[in-house]
Structure 1
C-alpha cells in the first residue's frame, strides 16, 4: 500500500470514528432520570429527581418510557442514568430468569446480573408493588376472609375480574388457583386494569386482581387479602443506576441511599390516588411527600 493510500485509509477511519462518536449517547453534566409510562413510575421518577436536585445536581427527566424493556435498554445505552425497577420484573421480564419467590435470593440474583452490565441496584424504597387480590371490605367481613388461604370455601360465590397480563403470566391466575384451591363463580371477566375498579364499584365483579399500591384500595375502602402462602414473587421498588454515573456524580448515591425504606405501601397508594383520583401534578405530590418525610 502506497503512502497516499495509507493516508486515505487513515483519513476514512478517522471520519468513521467521528461518526460513531457522534452517535454515542449524550453524556452531559446533567443526571437523567427515567420512568415507565404509568402513574406510579412517574411519581417515583420525580422522587428520585427531586432528591438528587436537593444535593445540588442538575436533573433532566425522561419519563413515559414504554415499558420495562425500553427503560432497561435506555439505561444500558446511557440515555438515562437511573430509574426505579421492581425486583420480580427485573428477574423474570428483563433477565428472563425463572420465577423465584424468595426475596433475598431475588435481590441477590438481580444485583449480580445488573452488576455484570455496569449497573448498581440501590436499596429498596421501602415497598413492593405486587399483585393483590382485592375485595370490598363488607364482603370480606361477611365471608370472614382476610387471607387467600381462607378464600377457597367462599370463592364459588364470587365473580372474579382480572387484567389481561394476570390471566396469562406464569405467576398469575392459574397458578394462584392451584396454589390456593380456588374455583370462582363462572368465567373470570378479563379487562383492562383501569376498568377493574369501576367494575368493582358497579358490583359487576366481587374480587379483582389489582396491584398492592393501587390508589383505589384506600378510597373505595377495599381490602387486600394476605398472600399467606407467599405465592406472588417479590416486587420491591429499587432504583437502578449506572456505575459510571455514580462515579461522576457521587451526590446521586447519597440521595438514593437517603430514600432507602422511606416510602411505604400506604404512602404509594395515597400518592397514586392523589394523581389519578384528584388529578394533582406528580411533582407537587412528591414535594408534599418529601416535606412530610423530612427528606
Structure 2
C-alpha cells in the first residue's frame, strides 16, 4: 500500500512509537477459541502470514495470526515486512501464504490499472477477478468496510468557523486562508492535490495560490494542521492521530480518492487446500470499520501499546477469542 507512515515526525505529546515505527515481534499470546471455533481441516495446517511494516498492517497481520491459531492452524508470524512490493512478492513467490491487502493497492500498484473504480464492491470484485486470473492470488469476501485512503482534515475550530463537512466546502474558506499542508508525493500524484482541487471546482495556481500550499513530510502534516499552520491537512483516514489531535475529516462526496478496503489475500493453492479460510475471515472483516481501525491504530501510535495485544484485546471484545 502507498502509505508513508515511516516518514512520520510525531507530535511531541504523542508516544514515540510512530506509525509503523514500533517493532513487531512474532510472539503469539495464549488465547482460547470463542466465536472462532477450531476447524478440523485446519488442525496442524501451517499457514504463513505476512504484513507490511506500518502500524495498521501489523495489527491486521496479528489479527490473522490469532484467528488462524484459534481455528487450530499452525500460524507462522512473518509480519512487519518492509514495503508493499516485498510483502506482495513473498506471497506470489510462495514464501508466504496469506496477507491483508488493500483493493486500491492491488488494482493500481500490483495490477497496473490507472483508473480506480468508485464503487467499493465493484472495485473489490474487479481486483479479485483479475488478480486470480493473472497471479493465482485469491481475495476473500467480504472486504473490510474500513477505507484507508487520502482525506483532508481541519481543526474543530476551523470546521465550526466555516461550516465545513465535505471537500465541496473548501470554497467557503476565503482564498487567502485556503492553505494546505501536504506531503510531496500527494502534491505530485494524479490522485493527489491538483486532481482533488479540480474535482471540487478549484484550481492550483489561481483559486488556490501556489504560495498557499506547503509541502512537508506526512507525519509533520498532522501537527501543522492541528497547530493552525494550514487550514487543510492531508491525512490518511484510519490514522490514530486524527482522534488524538481532535481533527475533523472532510467527506469526499465526489468519491475522488480511490478505495483502499483491506481483504484477505491468499495463494490460490492454499485456498483450494483450505476453503474454510473464507468463512473464518468472514467472521472478522465486517467488524473492521474505519472508526474501529482508527481506534486500534491510536492504541499503538498514541498510547504505545503492542500491536499483538491490541489485536488480541479487540478480538476478545468482539467475542472471537478469549
What range is the shorter-chain TM-score in?
0.7 to 0.9
Asked if 1:31 corresponds to 2:47, the answer is yes
CA distance in 1, matches of 2:201, 2:126: 31
Q: Is the 8 A contact 1:55 1:251 kept in 2?
A: no
- Residue 181 of structure 2: SS of its match in structure 1? strand
Q: Is the 8 A contact 2:162 2:172 kept in 1?
A: no
CA distance in 1, matches of 2:160, 2:226: 17
- Give 1:166's match in structure 2, choosing from 176, 186, 197: 186
| 1:121 aligned partner | 139
Q: What pairs up with 1:1-295 in 2 under 5 angstroms?
A: 29-103=45-119, 104-116=121-133, 117-122=135-140, 123-154=142-173, 156=175, 157-182=177-202, 183-184=207-208, 186-295=211-320
CA distance in 2, matches of 1:164, 1:275: 26
Identify the structure with the greater helix proportion.
Answer: 1
Q: Is the 8 A contact 2:153 2:249 kept in 1?
A: yes
- Residue 149 of structure 1: SS of its match in structure 2? helix
CA distance in 2, matches of 1:293, 1:167: 39
Unaligned 5+ runs, structure 1: 1-27
Q: What is the Cα deviation at residue 260 of structure 1?
A: 2.6
Q: What is the Cα deviation at residue 108 of structure 1?
A: 2.2
Indicate the structure whose relative CO is greater, using CA pairs within 8 Å and at least 6 residues apart: 2
CA distance in 2, matches of 1:145, 1:165: 25
CA distance in 2, matches of 1:129, 1:217: 13
Instruction: State the TM-score, normalized to the length of structure 1.
Output: 0.86
Q: Is the 8 A contact 1:101 1:232 kept in 2?
A: no
Q: Is the 8 A contact 1:213 1:266 kept in 2?
A: yes
Q: Is the 8 A contact 2:224 2:230 kept in 1?
A: yes
* Count of aligned positions: 268
Unaligned 5+ runs, structure 2: 1-43
| 2:6 aligned partner | none
RMSD of aligned alpha carbons? 1.7
- Residue 287 of structure 2: SS of its match in structure 1? coil
**Any idea what the Cα deviations from partners look like across 1:249-281, whole Å, max 9, x if unmatched?**
344333212213111111111111110111100
Q: What is the Cα deviation at residue 107 of structure 1?
A: 1.7
| 1:24 aligned partner | none
- Deviation above 4 Å: which 4+ runs of structure 1? none
- Residue 79 of structure 2: SS of its match in structure 1? strand
Higher mean alpha-carbon deviation, 178-187 vs 201-210, is at: 178-187
Q: Is the 8 A contact 2:226 2:247 kept in 1?
A: no
Q: What is the Cα deviation at residue 165 of structure 1?
A: 2.2
CA distance in 2, matches of 1:215, 1:72: 25
Instruction: State the TM-score, normalized to the length of structure 2.
Output: 0.79
Q: Is the 8 A contact 2:111 2:131 kept in 1?
A: no
